[in-house]
Amino acid sequence: MIINRQEEGDLPSLTILGWKVETPAPTGAYIARCLDVDIDEKFRRKKYQSEEIEEIPAVRFLFGIKKGDQAYLVQTKVYKASGSPKSALYGLITGWTGAFPGEFNPRDMVGKIANINVEQKTSNNGTIYGAVMNVAGAPEGMEGHAPSSAECNTLMISAGADVGALPETPADPTLPKPTPQVQQAIEPKEDNGEAPKEVPF
């Protein structure tokens, strides 16, 4: 481990989580497809209304939408990776799928369809971006209105998203198969009557 000297008055660096979305998604309601998930188990952020830095497990979702023939990317805010019924992530997944599972792996949401509302906003430094205001389950039969992952590949590559592996020559069946990597699941927590502090992004 290497520890960098911190001068008096310096603040620890914050963490960036997400993707570089260049074209802001337009305001509207869309049938969207979850294209990627970004996870950081040691995400650094400022506490609400404070200069103090805290470190939390965090997750963010990237969606693909279409308006006419044009595809767009839009990302959610950063969520604290918490299985508490009072957490913002719990509310997001419950609204999206109808229930928070006993064990939840955020990456299982890749490829899932959702009904989302997007609103164009302007950041403090003047950057226009598409903000996901609401995520809900998509009505049956609406899957065809969401773009496929292939339709968003060029945008995803530009944004630094995971587009998966390109088709390869079939593997030799005589060789052992690689062991898949297992992502840590988020377990729901019992409601102890104490509301955790959720920090807006």
Query: Residues near 47 by Cβ (< 8 Å), separated by ≥ 6?
Result: 53, 54, 197, 199
Give the model confidence (pLDDT) of 152-185 as tens digits. 999 999 999 988 764 454 556 666 666 655 555 6
pLDDT bin (cut points 50, 70, 90) of residue 199 is: very low
Q: Tens of pLDDT along 31-77?
A: 999 999 999 998 888 887 888 888 889 999 999 999 999 999 999 99
pLDDT at 53: 86
Rounded mean pLDDT, 76-91: 94
- What local confidence, expressed as pLDDT, does residue 2 receive? 40
Q: How far apart are CA 87 and CA 61, in angstroms?
A: 16
Judged against a pLDDT cut of 60, whether residue 6 lies above it is answered with: no
Query: Per-domain residue ranges for the chain?
Result: 28-159
The per-residue pLDDT for range 114-159, each reduced to its tens digit, is 999 999 999 988 999 999 999 999 998 898 999 999 999 999 999 9
Please check the confidence at residue 191 and state whether its pLDDT lies above 80: no
**Distances from the Cα of 142 to the Cαs of 8, 189, 195, in angstroms?**
56, 33, 36
Could you tell me the two tokens for 142?
A: 């609406």
For residue 11, the model assigns a pLDDT of: 45
* pLDDT at site 178: 61
Give the integer Cα–Cα distance in Å for 198 and 141: 35
With 0-12 / 13-18 / 19 or more C-beta atoms within 10 angstroms meaning exposed / middle / buried, residue 100 is buried
Supply the pLDDT for residue 52: 84
Per-residue confidence (pLDDT) for residue 17, from 0 to 100:
84
Select 28-159's CATH number: 1.10.15, 3.90.930, 3.30.750, 2.40.50: 2.40.50
CA distance 61 to 56: 17
Q: Residue 86: is its pLDDT beyond 60?
A: yes
Q: Give the pLDDT score at 105.
A: 95
